[in-house]
């Protein structure tokens, strides 16, 4: 693969920016750059800012976990609410059918 690329001519040497090394790919008749450590891009024109991708990935994972936990808590609250509502409705329906005590009416005569 080393013979596919050759160093650029003197007039093409300035093709790459920021200290990049220019190479000519003979099979395609195009120029390419090998950038120095802090640069990227087709002509080494972009400064590569170092970011901690692992920290960004960890922040994303933490955010996803927090969202999932909040969702689970909300769903648990909804289930508890409707369960309580159903139990109360069942209890109210049962109390209407079978009262705990019976109050005698005025017409009832005691001996």
* Alpha-carbon Rg for the chain in angstroms: 39
pTM of the model: 0.42
Each of the 111 residues of the chain gets a pLDDT tens digit; together they read 456 788 888 888 899 999 999 999 888 888 999 999 889 999 999 988 766 666 777 888 999 999 999 999 999 999 999 999 999 988 887 777 655 566 556 665 555
pLDDT at 76: 98
pLDDT at 93: 79
pLDDT at 6: 87
Instruction: Write the secondary structure of the chain as one string of H (helix), E (strand) and C (coil).
Output: CHHHEEECCCCCHHHCCCCCEEEEECCCCEEEEECCCCEECCCCCEECCCCCHHHHHHHHHHHHHHHHHHHHHHHHHHHHHHHHHHHHHHHHHHHHHCCCCCCCCCCCCCC
């Amino acid at each position: 693969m080393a013979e596919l690329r050759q160093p650029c001519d003197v007039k093409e040497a300035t093709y790459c920016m920021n200290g990049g090394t220019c190479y000519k790919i003979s099979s395609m008749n195009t120029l390419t750059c090998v950038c120095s450590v802090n640069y990227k891009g087709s002509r080494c024109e972009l400064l590569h800012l170092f970011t901690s991708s692992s920290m960004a990935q960890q922040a994303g994972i933490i955010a996803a976990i927090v969202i999932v936990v909040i969702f689970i808590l909300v769903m648990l609250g909804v289930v508890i609410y409707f369960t309580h509502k159903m139990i109360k409705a069942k209890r109210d329906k049962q109390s209407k059918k079978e009262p705990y005590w019976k109050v005698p009416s005025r017409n009832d005569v005691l001996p």
